[in-house]
């Protein structure tokens, strides 16, 4: 049947264009001769009809129209349901259920320059959601995590329901232990993904407790960070908060990736500098940058556009960067902590007086604790400088540092007594305080370690203290601090341990290490048996192993490669060594004459002193998944064993 062409001068209707016009996506206008179109006549081409091809496409178009109509109908149903449930308490859960049933894909995109909703923890939440151990089970309702970024994470996107579980678990079980973000209770995963996409990705990563799955997700997080912070040279609060979240609950330091933690911490510090959170820019700097950049430098931070919530968010971020950099500096080395400034002191004062947000009091307490620890570390640095300037380190030159450390210890006790008793997770913060006291005591010991042994008949120093007695007092103070730390640790329920940040586990390992040294320390004035009677090393390790083994059971962690399994493995191997070493030390102590003759010179030299906590570099090489690391650490006379 011959195709009916429209009149000359009028475009062909849909499906009636010739083959050449159809392929070129051009308007097909029949020529007056009616045997071809004007375009084919002008180009001197044979005008061929395309009835068969267009009929197939028309059929596909009909199917698409039908599918679109079905989807529009479902969307109408969903909108009606959402409007009818608006204001009801169970609306969110019902909407999630309908989304899963209707299988409507949620495609979200990043909203640029949209201020985030103010974010505050709700520690009073009693319901403990199931931690996100396996993000692989998928439903059709998904959050498109790849839309804001050029690189998508390696693992599949989680369902909306799963994302809500991750957010709720982070908000109720993890954030209260380091409350540097103010997540309001009613913010949803979808809203957080829109306003803080990188922070949202970091939360999904730290709430994945399987080591292998977390590593896969962290690779995707690093690709996003590399693209945003380095290729696109972005500096914004979303990147900073997400990076701090990942660092706070990172497990990389225990998996042979301490160098990565240090590098990411340096990147976070650079973001703080670049966003001018560290200190305000000088006027001459602003003028010079404006001239060289050809624009108003810093104009994106107009104070008039900043809300109170935005201001508080930035203050918490810079203080969190200080706490994490200080912890990573002392536990892993390689970097220096963010320098404390008057602007940071003012930010801390603002956080302390913020009565509208109860978690801010706990966060300010954490910052004060870390500030005392950092001041003590500064004393160690000054003492090392003084020693390098003199050929011999006398007891007299150590006294100013010892007196200052004594002042810090008194300030610490005053801070602990002022901490509000009604703060949720108070035990975790007091545990941190005991570690800070251990740090100060060990530092005082290292300063006075060159003093002669305790001799009551010897001359007093200028400060009126016996150097040997001061050293002995520091050692016993360390024993008491470790005992207090362990007593608080035993009060944690296994489900509470899941949400603790990384520095808590570093503290646990370092407490066990120092207790090992104190239990076998060879010093004329030191009674090792009193240490064992006060804190038994083997018994303490046994209790920690039991607690860690119960974490996976009572917290419903559906994985066999969590950090808690690896820490339990580490402590189990430490127990075998500790039992043999303590038994041998007891036999040597019974035979006084054989202490120096029968002992290995290398072991004697190592057990006769205790290194600074900051100088235990074995933390940088720790890899709890590597059996070779365990073999080298157990067999070689390393600082750890």
Per-residue pLDDT tens digits for 61-112? 666 777 777 777 667 666 665 655 554 444 445 444 444 444 333 333 333 3
Over residues 121-144, mean pLDDT? 40
Compute the half-sphere exposure of residue 392: CA atoms within 13 Å on the CB side of its CA. Answer: 4
Which of 84, 117, 134 lies at the terminal end of a domain, its last residue?
A: 84
Same domain, 317 and 371: no
Cβ pair 153, 229 in contact under 8 A = no
Same domain, 362 and 245: no
Same domain, 457 and 391: yes
pLDDT at 464 over 60: no
How many other CB atoms are found less than 10 A from the CB of residue 606?
18
Question: Is residue 113 situated within a structural domain?
Answer: no
Same domain, 627 and 514: yes
**Residues 6+ positions from 309 with CB-CB distance below 8 Å:** 117, 118, 119, 182
Question: Is residue 250 situated within a structural domain?
Answer: yes
Same domain, 329 and 367: no
Same domain, 318 and 415: no
Per-residue pLDDT tens digits for 367-398? 999 999 999 888 877 777 766 666 544 444 45
Per-residue pLDDT tens digits for 473-495? 888 999 999 999 999 999 998 88
Question: Is residue 141 situated within a structural domain?
Answer: no
- Among the listed residues 360, 370, 475, 355, the one whose alpha carbon sits nearest the alpha carbon of residue 415: 370
Same domain, 457 and 524: yes
Please give the structure tokens belonging to residue 359. Answer: 């978690």
Count of domains observed in the chain: 3
How far apart are alpha carbons 339 and 322 in whole angstroms? 8
Q: Which residue has the higher pLDDT, 333 or 180?
A: 180
Over residues 132-140, mean pLDDT? 39
Same domain, 276 and 418: no
- Among the listed residues 576, 475, 461, 464, the one whose alpha carbon sits nearest the alpha carbon of residue 518: 475
Compute the 3-state secondary structure of the chain and give helix, strand, coil in percent, each to the nearest 5. 65, 0, 35
pLDDT at 180 over 80: yes
Same domain, 256 and 396: no
Same domain, 315 and 363: no
Please give the structure tokens belonging to residue 165. Answer: 């579980």
DSSP string, 267-319: HHHHHHHHTT-SSPPPHHHHHHHHHHHTS-TTTT--GGG--HHHHHHHHHHHH
Instruction: Please tell me which of 98-112, 136-150, 565-579 the model is most confident about, judged by mean pLDDT.
Output: 565-579
Output the pLDDT for position 588.
62
How far apart are alpha carbons 225 and 265 in whole angstroms? 13
User: What are the residues facing 78 on neighbouring strands?
Assistant: none
Question: Is residue 560 situated within a structural domain?
Answer: yes
The position carrying tokens 């400060």 is 463
**Stated length of the chain:** 641
Which of 84, 116, 140 lies at the terminal end of a domain, its last residue?
A: 84
Question: Is residue 142 situated within a structural domain?
Answer: no
Q: What is the CA radius of gyration of the chain?
A: 33
Instruction: Please tell me which of 10-14, 464-468, 569-573 the model is most confident about, judged by mean pLDDT.
Output: 569-573
pLDDT class of 14 with cuts at 50, 70, 90:
low
The chain-wide mean pLDDT, for the chain, equals 75
Statement: the pTM of the whole predicted model exceeds 0.75:
no
Question: Is residue 378 situated within a structural domain?
Answer: yes
Please give the structure tokens belonging to residue 348. Answer: 């801390």
**Range in 20-24, 116-120, 619-623 with the lowest mean pLDDT:** 116-120
pLDDT at 636 over 80: no
pLDDT class of 266 with cuts at 50, 70, 90:
very high
Which of 55, 84, 113 lies at the terminal end of a domain, its last residue?
A: 84
Over residues 114-136, mean pLDDT? 40
pLDDT at 589 over 70: no
Same domain, 443 and 308: no
Same domain, 287 and 381: no
Over residues 448-470, mean pLDDT? 51
pLDDT at 601 over 50: no
Over residues 249-264, mean pLDDT? 91
User: What are the residues facing 313 on neighbouring strands?
Assistant: none
**Residues 6+ positions from 513 with CB-CB distance below 8 Å:** 616, 640
pLDDT class of 355 with cuts at 50, 70, 90:
confident
DSSP string, 454-502: P-TTSPP-TTS--HHHHHHHHHHHHHHHHHHHHHHHHHS-HHHHTT--H
Question: Is residue 510 situated within a structural domain?
Answer: yes
pLDDT class of 620 with cuts at 50, 70, 90:
confident
**Residues 6+ positions from 183 with CB-CB distance below 8 Å:** 119, 120, 121, 122, 167, 170, 171, 175, 192
Question: Is residue 144 situated within a structural domain?
Answer: no
- Domain of residue 58 covers 1-84
């Amino acid at each position: 049947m011959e195709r009916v062409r429209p009149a000359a001068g009028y475009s062909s209707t849909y499906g009636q264009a010739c083959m050449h016009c159809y392929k070129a996506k051009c308007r097909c206008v029949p020529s007056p001769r009616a045997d071809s179109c004007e375009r084919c006549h002008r180009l001197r081409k044979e005008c061929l009809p395309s009835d068969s091809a267009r009929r197939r496409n028309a059929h596909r178009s009909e199917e698409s129209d039908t599918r679109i109509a079905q989807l529009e109908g479902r969307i109408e149903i969903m909108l009606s349901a959402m409007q009818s449930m608006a204001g009801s308490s169970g609306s969110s859960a019902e909407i999630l259920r309908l989304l899963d049933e209707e299988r409507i894909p949620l495609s979200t995109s990043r909203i640029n320059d949209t201020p985030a909703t103010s974010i505050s923890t709700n520690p009073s939440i009693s319901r403990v959601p199931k931690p996100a151990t396996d993000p692989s089970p998928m439903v059709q309702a998904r959050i498109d995590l790849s839309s804001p970024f050029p690189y998508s994470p390696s693992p599949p996107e989680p369902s909306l329901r799963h994302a809500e579980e991750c957010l709720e678990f982070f908000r109720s079980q993890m954030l209260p232990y380091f409350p540097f973000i103010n997540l309001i209770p009613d913010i949803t995963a979808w809203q957080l993904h829109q306003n803080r996409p990188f922070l949202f990705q970091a939360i999904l990563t730290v709430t994945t407790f399987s080591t292998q799955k977390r590593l896969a997700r962290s690779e995707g997080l690093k690709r996003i960070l590399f693209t945003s912070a380095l290729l696109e040279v972005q500096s914004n609060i979303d990147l900073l908060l997400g990076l701090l979240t990942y660092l706070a609950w990172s497990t990389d330091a225990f998996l042979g990736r301490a160098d990565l933690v240090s590098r990411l911490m340096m990147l976070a510090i650079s973001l703080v500098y670049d966003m001018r959170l560290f200190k305000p820019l000088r006027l001459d700097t602003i003028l010079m940058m404006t001239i060289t950049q050809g624009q108003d430098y810093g104009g994106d931070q107009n104070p008039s556009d900043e809300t109170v919530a935005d201001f508080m968010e930035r203050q918490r971020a810079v203080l969190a960067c200080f706490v994490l950099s200080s912890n990573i500096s002392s536990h892993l080395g390689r970097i220096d902590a963010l320098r404390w400034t008057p602007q940071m002191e003012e930010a801390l004062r603002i956080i302390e007086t913020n009565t509208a947000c109860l978690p801010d009091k706990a966060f300010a307490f954490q910052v004060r604790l870390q500030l005392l620890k950092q001041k003590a570390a500064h004393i160690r640095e000054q003492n090392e400088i003084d020693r390098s300037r003199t050929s011999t380190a006398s007891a007299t030159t150590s006294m100013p540092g010892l007196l200052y450390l004594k002042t810090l210890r008194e300030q610490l006790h005053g801070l602990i007594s002022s901490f509000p008793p009604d703060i949720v997770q108070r035990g975790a913060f007091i545990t941190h305080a005991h570690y800070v006291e251990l740090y100060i005591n060990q530092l005082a010991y290292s300063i006075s370690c060159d003093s002669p042994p305790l001799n009551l008949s010897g001359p007093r120093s200028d400060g009126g203290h016996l150097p040997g007695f001061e050293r002995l007092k520091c050692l016993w103070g360390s024993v008491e601090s470790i005992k207090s730390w362990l007593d608080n640790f035993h009060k944690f329920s296994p489900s509470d341990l899941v949400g603790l940040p990384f520095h808590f586990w570093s503290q646990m390992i370092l407490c066990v290490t120092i207790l090992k040294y104190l239990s076998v320390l060879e010093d004329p004035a030191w009674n090792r048996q009193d240490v064992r009677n006060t804190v038994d090393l083997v018994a303490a390790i046994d209790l920690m192993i039991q607690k860690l083994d119960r974490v996976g059971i009572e917290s419903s962690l559906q994985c066999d490669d969590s950090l808690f399994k690896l820490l339990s493995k580490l402590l189990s191997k430490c127990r075998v060594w500790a039992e043999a070493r303590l038994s041998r030390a007891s036999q040597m102590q019974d035979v006084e004459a054989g202490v120096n003759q029968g002992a290995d010179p290398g072991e004697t030299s190592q057990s006769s002193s205790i290194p600074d906590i900051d100088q235990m570099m074995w933390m940088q090489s720790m890899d709890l998944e590597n059996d070779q690391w365990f073999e080298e650490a157990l067999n070689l006379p390393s600082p750890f064993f």
